[in-house]
Structure 1
């Protein structure tokens, strides 16, 4: 019998990298409504990302 361990390094913002529990969204971009800051209620870890919006006819460039 052969046992194989499959691991993945993929990460999504739905789960905490430190403990694996589900994240709660704590900040959302006011321009596009995309979440950019998450908090783990299990271990207290905080994760965030910064994104930039290109200038458009009705708004200036927004950096969050």
Structure 2
């Protein structure tokens, strides 16, 4: 998570991602560290793709 914050700051000039991005990350990772690392990268590359994936999981789909 700390690396996500560093990358987020470098890309977006915000200190940390907003709470919704963090929540989306936790939903997508589903408690799996490997998935969390993958989705941290996705969050920095394009947080909107992460949001779409998280909404799909919330709606009952799979990651």
Same fold (TM over 0.5): no
Greater relative contact order, per chain length (Cα 8 Å cut-off, separation 6+)? 2
Higher normalized helix content (fraction of residues): 2
Bin the TM-score by the shorter chain.
Answer: under 0.3
TM-score (ref. length: structure 2):
0.28
Higher normalized strand content (fraction of residues): 1
